[in-house]
Structure 1
């Protein structure tokens, strides 16, 4: 298992099949998935896991598995992903995260995302990193602010119907 980033409390590493049960459970949790278009069933989570692994093989970065150093438990992911849906800021590199709710409000998402942002700028020589979320997802927006991203606007996500409460998104960016 390759370790990419180590922080004070976390390991950001490649994925293993042992991560799948918690990953599937996380993607089926209505609170975790509140600001995503849908809850993922087991098959969809497995397909997502396989896409994450393939992306690492192809471009050598992606969504890192996040593990707590204290107990070596998988708690979710954070990482970088190439986004190319039609928008005036794409294609771009996006930073994103999703953690199990048991670890919310402990600073793990901020700690992991901050380290991942630096990894993207310093190790991967990425010049601009974006992040976006549904405008009503204030928890995720606060993380964007805490890691130093600047709000540059809002947009309607082209893959979400306009009547959906998740369509309107906030857009943040950081440059190196």
Structure 2
């Protein structure tokens, strides 16, 4: 699977991506809205999970490569939501980019391509995004790609321990614009 934008190539994962991805998800600042950074072995397992999701159709998280120089920026894509969330959305969109690529419009650009794929190729009626309530940068991206917060669907993330400030999550959604 491959999606292209003006500046990005969203593509399947390669073994050569593993060291750069491990550096991205091992960075405490990048992962500050996740419960923990990832070790290189955990980063490899994450890539393996994304490859498996592409293979079985349950997820479409792709490597984000910059067209101009082939740099791996991070990941973006969609996946089936596998736990209960109020209002029961079925498909989520997400992204994780290296800090050096923040503030350049790459996250919204890649996310828009992933949304188009979800609506056009997958026929999704809607896509949701969720993050820790305190993660304002990701919420800004959600707004930039046309998503609207649904306060009725805010929830406590079941994978985050009770009392952790990352446990309260907000949910944004966007409907497929096709009739």
TM-score (normalizing by structure 2): 0.93
Q: Which aligned pairs between 1:18-167 and structure 2 lie closer than 5 A?
A: 18-59=16-57, 61-90=59-88, 92-153=90-151, 154-167=154-167
Query: Deviation of residue 91 (structure 1)?
Result: 5.8
Query: Deviation of residue 43 (structure 1)?
Result: 1.0
* Number of residue-to-residue matches in the alignment: 174
What RMSD, in angstroms, separates the aligned Cα atoms of the two structures?
Answer: 1.2
1-side partners of 2:170 and 2:59: how far apart? 24
1-side partners of 2:15 and 2:27: how far apart? 20
2-side partners of 1:89 and 1:157: how far apart? 14
Query: Deviation of residue 42 (structure 1)?
Result: 1.1
TM-score (normalizing by structure 1): 0.95
1-side partners of 2:50 and 2:26: how far apart? 18
Q: Tell me whether 147-156 or 93-102 shows the greater mean CA deviation.
A: 147-156
Query: Deviation of residue 87 (structure 1)?
Result: 2.2
Query: Deviation of residue 143 (structure 1)?
Result: 0.2
Segments of structure 2 that go 5 or more residues without pairing to the other structure are none
Segments of structure 1 that go 5 or more residues without pairing to the other structure are none
* Structure with greater strand percent: 1
In the alignment, is the contact (CA less than 8 A) between 1:84 and 1:91 conserved in 2? Answer: no
User: What's 1:12 paired with?
Assistant: 10
